Amino acid sequence: MTAIAFIGLGNMGSPMAINLVKAQHQVTVFDLMPDALETLRLAGASVAASAAEAVKGAEVVITMLPAGKHVIGVYLGSNQQAGILDLLDKNTLLIDSSTIDVASVNAVATAAKEKGLSMIDAPVSGGVAAATAGTLTFMCGGSSDAFDRAQAILSAMGKQLFLAGDHGAGQIAKMCNNMLLAIQMAGTAEALQMGVNNGLDPSVLSEIMLKSSGRNWSLEVYNPYPGVMKTAPASNDYKPGFMVDLMAKDLGLAMDNAANSKSSTPLGLLAQSLYLQKQAMGDGKKDFSSVIELMKA
Ligand code: NAD
């Protein structure tokens, strides 16, 4: 049993923290939203009144926050709060599973190292369903020692654990994956809508493409057409899931990286403009599969 502080209990963090409780770890949680704290209290976690209180006595700290500025704020501090780094014992292992920019990872990892603390970036893939089932993929960056220590904890929340390289490498792997996901979801959406515009039943077309060369993750577990897949956000008014705002953020990270690494990513750029358009329409809080709404006549 490990004493774990878990900070950030949103769509992903909440089921991940619940799986740590189920694995008999001693979990103390913090989030800004009282409802999220109540869910974890009912699941058996201890609830803290602040991030600083949550990390008292923690052997491992896990963060699952929206973006780099939130991660920097929690670890290093901001105008609103003091950072938690100063409060941690030397042996504490830090695991950040948020999807964030590499510069923020490096800022926190460097500050942690100066205090004798180990940190890994450990962004995830699989969405809310995999977070709930404990079958996430973790793509990690950091030292192999820190990764080895993290495995016992990560395996309670995921099934595939990869060390991609040093600090930031997990985030690079994640931004490549999510750029591909955005392209694949947009492509799946336009194929389905074109079929429907020509009188095809979206369920039949999905079944055909699933057994053909168009098969992909969006079609398999996250169908964007309403009513085809009961468990998908499309059949629940595009309630997230994975928000348009977060996909737009991830595509921003990927496009910044593409410019810096002189990588040609024309489809990533096109996918980014689709998600920015959804945001401009006021759909930032909808699930990212709602991109299909741009293809409707
Ligand atoms: P979310 O917006 O649902 O949850 C984020 C949580 O962080 C919220 O509950 C918010 O209240 C909390 N928070 C923000 N600032 C805080 C602070 N200072 N202290 C404590 N809590 C704070 O987001 P999510 O969908 O859970 O995603 C989290 C991260 O995981 C993002 O970086 C996202 O890109 C990534 N991700 C999401 C999915 C998905 O399917 N939703 C999949 C893979 C990766």
Instruction: Using CB atoms within 10 Å of the CB of residue 191, give its burial: 0 to 12 exposed, 13 to 18 middle, 19+ buried.
Output: middle
C-alpha pair distances (Å), 248 with each of 91, 114, 142: 36, 33, 26
pTM of structure? 0.95
pLDDT mean over 131-156: 98
The yes-or-no verdict on residue 297 having pLDDT over 70 is: no
Query: Which residues line ligand 1 at a C-beta cut-off of 6 Å?
Result: 7-13, 30-33, 36, 51, 64-66, 70, 73-74, 98-99, 124-125, 127-128, 241-242, 246, 250
Q: Are 197 and 102 in contact (CB under 8 A)?
A: no
**pLDDT, average across residues 211-224:** 97
- What are the structural domains, with CATH classification, of the chain? 3-165 (3.40.50.720), 172-295 (1.10.1040.10)
Q: What tokens were used for 78?
A: 């901001």
User: How many beta carbons lie within 10 A of that of residue 18, not counting itself?
Assistant: 24
Mutate to test the pocket of ligand 1, among 32, 40, 250 (most ligand atoms within 8 A of CB): 32
Q: How many CB atoms lie within 10 A of CB 14?
A: 25
For residues 25, 77, 286, 234, the Cα torsion angle rounded to the nearest 10 degrees is -20
Ligand 1 atom 11: residue of nearest CA: 32
pLDDT in tens, 38-87: 999 999 999 999 999 999 999 999 999 999 999 999 999 988 888 999 99
Q: How far apart are CA 11 and CA 211, in angstroms?
A: 31
Helix runs in 225-286, H state only? 244-260, 266-280
